[in-house]
Structure 1
Amino acid sequence: MSDTQDRPVLTGLIALVAVAAVVGIIGGLTALVGSRVLGLDGGAAASDSDATSGTSLYLPEPTITSETVSPEAGASATNDPVQTSAAPVTTITLSAGQESVAAMQQIDFSGTYPAGEGAILQVQRLENGKWIDFPVTMSVSSQRFATYVLTGRAGENTFRVIDTDKDVFSNEVVVTVG
């Protein structure tokens, strides 16, 4: 008998490694050639073509426009329709899904924030006359938000949400726990 017949597992393993190496080399070369053909090599050629194509990542500094001037300041100066249109609603409306729950039962909150697309809202609870951040936040999407909290603090619990970036608060909701 020959060596390969005495050790079929070793022979199969060597053949498997050889095939994997060949496939890996062919795949790597194909990816390299493909990226160069598509101009994805990240070299100077890509930079040169971007410079001549006229594209730019330049972002100008923000400036005050007529849309950011208060209606009182600009309404008499021009007849710009932006100046005379109603201001967007910037209030946060909060509602609770339950009026009373058992301790550590889920309290569902939802609401709307028309001017807060993408804003992160912080849930707060009124404790001893001070608003304390509750360890729950949520984001506004399509002018809506929703979350839930759990609390074991018995009695009436008063909650609100705040957009901490704009310092805008919602209405207060009261949920009885216990």
Structure 2
Amino acid sequence: MISDKLQRANPEGPRNEHPILAGLVAFVAVVVVVAGVVGVAALIGSRALGFSDDGVVDTSGSVQETLFLPRPSETDEPGTPYITLPGQTETSKPKKNNKPSKTPKPVKLISLSAAQTAVGPMEPIDLTGDYAAGEGAILRVQQFENGQWGDFPVTASVSGGRFSTFIQTGNPGLNRFRVIDTDTGEASNEIKVQIG
């Protein structure tokens, strides 16, 4: 009787449905589809990046770019470009100027001058000068003899960027003098004084 009532309530017949089993099957099917899509996307992406099947980067199909940066070097020619681009040839460089270039003389930090250009033997020669960067420095007078500079037994100290002293010599002829900073070795310009 009870089965008759169930058949009337459910005319299609009794069903053996298991909702948990059906949900589990659907979940597994969705996971398989999603994993397949992700796997194919990963395979396509790795191929696009150049990886082969064994995980090594495949360089045969693409050219590997490298950065070449040459060592900088100074140029002596005015008008020479600071950067030479690849493919630039000799004809594209600026024409070299045929005029001889003058090398600027280095600026002396110590400037020396003499009040006299000619004196008699053992007469005083007054030396003065400027040395702005040498406040407090001791300057040694040097004389050029026998092809080299030798120390003269006179020094001067720098005060307020200036110095002064005097020398005497009995060496006849044209004499050359300069002063040199005893600490740094910085030398002044040379002066010439005729003796005798």
**TM value normalised by structure 1:** 0.49
**TM value normalised by structure 2:** 0.45
In proportion to residue count, which structure has more helix?
Answer: 1
Structure of greater Rg: 2
